[in-house]
Structure 1
Amino acid sequence: MTSQNSGGEREKVASKLPAALRQELKTRAAQLGIDMQDAVAQAVEQWRARPADSNPTIDTSGAESWNTWLPVGLYDTFKNDCADRGISFVQGLAQAIRVWIDSHNVSLTALAIPRYTRRIIVCNQKGGVGKTTIAAGTGQAIALGLPASTGASKLPALPGLRTLLVDYDPQGHLTSQLGVKQIPPGEESLVTHMVDRDRVAGSLLDQVVAIEPDHFEGRLSLLPSSFDAFLLDSRLGSVRGPRETSLQRALAPLEEHFDVIVIDAPPNLGLAMDAGLYYGHRRKNEAPGASGVLVPVEAEDSSADAYSMLDSQIRTVSLDYEVDIDRLGLVVNKFDKRKGYVATHSLDNWQSLGTPPVVSIVPDLKEQREAVHVKQPLLMYAPTSIQAQRMREIRRRLS
């Protein structure tokens, strides 16, 4: 198939690539300021121009599904070249990328600072606190970007970033609120890519849906929920290999297509949540606070109990798997001071924690409920509302 691209007509190419090699390619292309697609096209042309015996043999065992786009006609030519040289297309592509990386050296300082896709896990063990509202609104604000502040603070502008919302909650509220259908049982989804990797035939990117591309300039997308997600915890129990990395493995092929991934996590303490927390851990040489957990809470006592359970689970995952999981902040959601002492006292308690900080206080107003009713993004339906302003505040605090 072909698709329009800024570089002209290109063909979508489905292949496989070792995860480590894919990450090296992504890092090197970013360091050189080269689009990933252009880097792969250069790699293929460079490989074709080299003698066959000068290309290294790459270990492609465990290679995972990966998509790229090549100029029209180059795929067929490259595939024929691989056949002539007696190697598979997967091996040929891996060789080409390895050669390109090795021939495009950058300084050791730059190599030590890989550029990761930011991962924001919106979670709490208590249902009804508005996780979906905060995940959706934060993602929308990141995709739209922020203008420079003209006030006394004179804050800089923040560009709109390619943002993927992931509905990881089997209830599918995020998917429904944005007017998208859940993925039917048995079809390829995030769940199948987590637990049935040997059986999936397509790319998870094929399931991604653009959200109001005219309004968000093509920068906001959604990976819908699946009805199969209700069985995810039990199915994770039978996964071969480390279960905690299952979400990371499934989403890794999507990371090169997005600057930020926002996860609307399920309200439970199971294996799926362990995998979600692990996905947000700080990776090697990633800046502290770039990725981690964002926790919506309410100004009432039961929300504090739920947060204590989540904090315990974060600590357990961190210790069990020897990773750092940054707490990006708390969002006090659905706040209504008319509820009196309980609400105001609870807010004071949240703010007194200090770490993680309260990054925003979102009032309980009608605009969000109306946006859900008409199945539109809040920042599109009511862009000047107080709730929309709070979403932009969260974006600013997380920048």
Structure 2
Amino acid sequence: MASPANAGDREKVVSKLPGWLRQDLKIRSAQLGIEIQGAVEQGLAQWSALASAPTAVDTSGADSFSTWLPAGQWDTFRNIAADRGISLTQGLAQAVQVWLQTHPAPTVVRPEIPRRIIVCNQKGGVGKTAITAGTGEALAEDAATLHPVRVSKYFAALLDDNDGSDPLALEDLPGLGLRVLLVDFDPQCHLTRQLGHTPLPMEGDSLTKHMAGEAAGRLADLVVPIEEDRFGDRLHLLPGCHDAFLLDVRLSAVRAREASLERALAPLEGEFDAILVDCPPSLGLSMDAAVHYGRRRPNEAPGASGVLIVVQAEDSSADAYDLLTSQIEDLRGDLALDIDYLGIVVNQYDGRRGYIATSSLQAWTDIKEPRVVGVIADLKEQKEAVRLKRPLLAYAPKSDQAIGMRALAREIS
């Protein structure tokens, strides 16, 4: 049952646990940031301190389970199990159950002010819509389920600059469990269609009409759920409308037009923890309104809200980036706003394209303010998800792109 102690004065023990209990242990340990061996150690100590054995646990189908415990703890546990007349498998299952009961799952921390993530670049075709959807999906995944995430030195691996550790290693982590609203602010309505919905009719109510002071009803009535089990009831969409092509013209006659998006979305904010805005490829008044909406509000932590800039590893993205940041800096200065950069996402990256791609990626990572917070590969799963009108993280949850979206969501959280 036990091997000689390792360098950390622990010994390997091998027993059995039912699969469902082992999975609960794995998830709860990850939720609490505790190593499994530490959780088992605590559970055995708690179980051993009880005056008698608790209720029996169903251990049918139990299979091999191993961990490392402090030297001597397993022998003590074995003696107590013998005194109580139960098997080691039953005793271990009871100990794990005791630990789970005394270490409940943490509740999802809800921000007092909903985070506002403005996904933008005035250059079209860089994949803003995919990043908006994928980041929102990653924020909304179930907090009681583990999902593969790459959290280590991924950028360093792409640039062949790491410390010898495995930069591509995956880690299973609980979802973030946030209530998320995706706002399709682009008149082309790509986000709406990609998630399987139809753009709002031109003659009906829309976000554009609410921003222009011509609302025909409640904006909340236009919001639709993304019905995938993976997201529960946490992921929603405000569909786009082609009338947004006329938004800049309409805003020119609106008082305090920079705050028009904020006025429109304010009634929805109490229902969501994060609101992601998929911006049009524009430097017009609508972009001013989006950036203003992402400004840091009083009592809001720096970096909670702001602009997330999507680029590609090629030269034209750099030109568009300069134009966008100039507009943001003008708004900062003219309106005295605190506008935070959440980072740069290099999208649709493929190192096989040679020097242009690799040198451009290096140039983006050389920018330290704002820094690169995500590199998303150009792979088939995203295109397939779009064709099937399904969220990427529901269609291909273990794909490299999905793993990258989860890493991105955590980088900006």
Shared fold (TM-score greater than 0.5)?
yes
Change (3 A) 1:158 1:370: closer
Whether the 8 Å contact between 2:141 and 2:178 is mirrored in structure 1 is: yes
Question: RMSD of the alignment, in Å?
Answer: 1.9
Once the two structures are superposed, the pairs formed by residues 164-203 of structure 1 within 5 Å of their partners are 164-196=181-213, 199-203=214-218
Instruction: Select the residue among 221, 231, 240 that pairs with 1:216.
Output: 231
Once the two structures are superposed, the pairs formed by residues 308-323 of structure 1 within 5 Å of their partners are 308-323=322-337
Whether the 8 Å contact between 2:149 and 2:406 is mirrored in structure 1 is: no
Change (3 A) 1:155 1:378: closer
**SS of corresponding position for 2:271:** coil
Aligned pair count reads 283
Tell me, yes or no, if structure 1 residue 233 matches structure 2 residue 248.
yes
Which position in structure 2 is the counterpart of 1:54?
Answer: none
Once the two structures are superposed, the pairs formed by residues 1-399 of structure 1 within 5 Å of their partners are 115-145=112-142, 147=146, 157=174, 159-196=176-213, 199-239=214-254, 241-399=255-413
What CA deviation, in whole Å up to 9, does each residue of 1:17-55 have, x standing for no partner?
xxxxxxxxxxxxxxxxxxxxxxxxxxxxxxxxxxxxxxx
- Give how far 1:359 is off: 1.0
- Give how far 1:354 is off: 1.2
Whether the 8 Å contact between 2:142 and 2:232 is mirrored in structure 1 is: no
Which position in structure 1 is the counterpart of 2:46?
Answer: none
TM-score by length of 2: 0.66
What CA deviation, in whole Å up to 9, does each residue of 1:73-100 have, x standing for no partner?
xxxxxxxxxxxxxxxxxxxxxxxxxxxx
Whether the 8 Å contact between 1:213 and 1:219 is mirrored in structure 2 is: no
Whether the 8 Å contact between 1:293 and 1:328 is mirrored in structure 2 is: yes
**SS of corresponding position for 2:303:** coil
What CA deviation, in whole Å up to 9, does each residue of 1:235-267 have, x standing for no partner?
10011x200000000000000010100000011
- Give how far 1:200 is off: 2.5
Structure 2 residue runs of 5 or longer lacking an equivalent are 1-110, 153-170
Q: In 2, distance between residues paired with 1:384 and 1:151?
A: 11
Structure 1 residue runs of 5 or longer lacking an equivalent are 1-113
Q: In 1, distance between residues paired with 2:216 and 2:205?
A: 8
**SS of corresponding position for 1:161:** coil
Whether the 8 Å contact between 1:139 and 1:163 is mirrored in structure 2 is: yes
Q: 1:159 is matched by which residue type in structure 2?
A: L
**SS of corresponding position for 2:125:** coil
Q: In 2, distance between residues paired with 1:277 and 1:152?
A: 29
- Give how far 1:186 is off: 2.2
- Give how far 1:152 is off: 10
Q: 2:371 is matched by which residue type in structure 1?
A: P
Q: In 1, distance between residues paired with 2:176 and 2:355?
A: 40
Structure possessing the higher radius of gyration over alpha carbons: 2
Whether the 8 Å contact between 2:138 and 2:176 is mirrored in structure 1 is: no
**SS of corresponding position for 1:379:** helix
Q: 1:260 is matched by which residue type in structure 2?
A: A
Change (3 A) 1:150 1:224: closer
**SS of corresponding position for 1:256:** helix
Q: In 1, distance between residues paired with 2:190 and 2:211?
A: 21
Q: In 2, distance between residues paired with 1:381 and 1:245?
A: 36
TM-score by length of 1: 0.68
